[in-house]
Amino acid sequence: MNAHERMASNPYVGLEDRAIWRKAVAESHALQLTGLYRKKFPIAADARIATAGSCFAQNIAKALKRNGFNFCDFEPRPPLFPAEQALVYNYGVYSARYCNIYTARQLLQVFDRAYGAFVPEEKAWVRGGGHVDPFRPLLEPEPFGSIAELERSRQSHFDAVREMFEKLDVFMFTLGLTEAWVSRSDGAVFPVCPGTVAGAFDPASYEFRNFNYFEIFEDLIAFFGKVRTVNPRAKFLLTVSPVPLTATKSDNHVLVATTYSKSVLRSVAGHLATEIDFVDYFPSYEIIAAPSMRGMFYDPNLRTVNAAGVDYVMSHFFREHHATPVDNPVREAQGAAALAGDLEATCEEMLQAQELGYA
């Protein structure tokens, strides 16, 4: 076989442009990249979509609503509740008021707690003379007046979570962190370190965990199985937040810790999407953090993602999944204003860092 014949039979001959770095990235304008995402399954405009995840996931819900998709809110604000106060009380941020869910273990425990399969020993944290939910410490601007009031809110929330899992068609989850703080007694995972935004830290009661690939993989597999038990048609779309860590408790430099965290999350998500037909992966992380973007979508703190970045990320999603954008000038203006502000206004991780003077 001569050289020409070997070249003709080479499996790299005839690759699409999107498979070749020079053509797909180096010689393409950063804002004109195409083919980054190809859907595994369609998401119809009327499909019941639920969202959850880290801070970045809040922007996905907003974009879905503005572009005519059926983002479902299973725990909406009460009819007489002031609309201008809704976001402050975590209404409409996600499909239920679970606030930010940063890790796969935390997500799995949300399901188990809602269905009574796991009842954490930790019932409430003290803040400002009142009580807050350890698993939703920033649910409302003021703490609950009593533990009984907190429990009523929690049970109402669980009702909504069960309804969500049983009725949704697509669950979109944004993986954010591998690091978490865990109860030593029963393994309950908290969204923040106890003693920062609420509660009190006791090293005998809490430990730092940096979940590894196998733990995250097994947690997500367990979560998929449990959701599909109550809702066999459920499909899942995973993505990874491009927002770096505010701080790390690991022994690594925060940049190294961030790279580890995002690499593990991306690897798990990609593995699951490759192996399971009802799981897809959407490349939010790559679109924002790719070297070709030169950091243009990050704010000056090199951490939070600006509104243009969110729009660019979602433009790739909407090329594959189509609906009719909302044609409402007032609503559009409100949406733009929300995106123009601090995207982490309801981010426990950021407030924890602020409390400690790291932000």
Q: What is the mean pLDDT of the chain?
A: 90
Confidence label for 14 from pLDDT (cuts 50, 70 and 90) = confident
Neighbours of 241 (CB within 10 A): 24
Q: Which residues contact 23 (CB under 8 A, 6 or more apart)?
A: 17
pLDDT single digits (tens) 157-199: 999 999 999 999 999 999 999 999 999 999 999 999 999 999 9
Would you say residue 358 has pLDDT above 80?
A: no
Give the DSSP letter of residue 128. Answer: T
Query: Strand, coil or helix: what is 185?
Result: coil
Q: Which of 232, 223, 297, 257 is nearest to 53 (CA)?
A: 223
Q: Decide if 199 contacts 125 (C-beta within 8 A).
A: yes
Q: Decide if 306 contacts 298 (C-beta within 8 A).
A: yes
pLDDT single digits (tens) 261-307: 999 999 999 999 999 999 999 999 999 999 989 999 999 999 999 99
pLDDT at 11: 85
Q: Which of 227, 225, 187 is nearest to 207 (CA)?
A: 187
pLDDT at 311: 93
Note the residue count of the chain.
359
pLDDT at 163: 98
Would you say residue 233 has pLDDT above 60?
A: yes
Q: Decide if 304 contacts 243 (C-beta within 8 A).
A: yes
Residues facing residue 172 across a β-bridge? 51, 237
User: For 252, phi and psi rounded to 5 degrees?
Assistant: -90, 160
pTM, 2 dp: 0.89
The mean pLDDT of 66-82, rounded to a whole number, is: 94
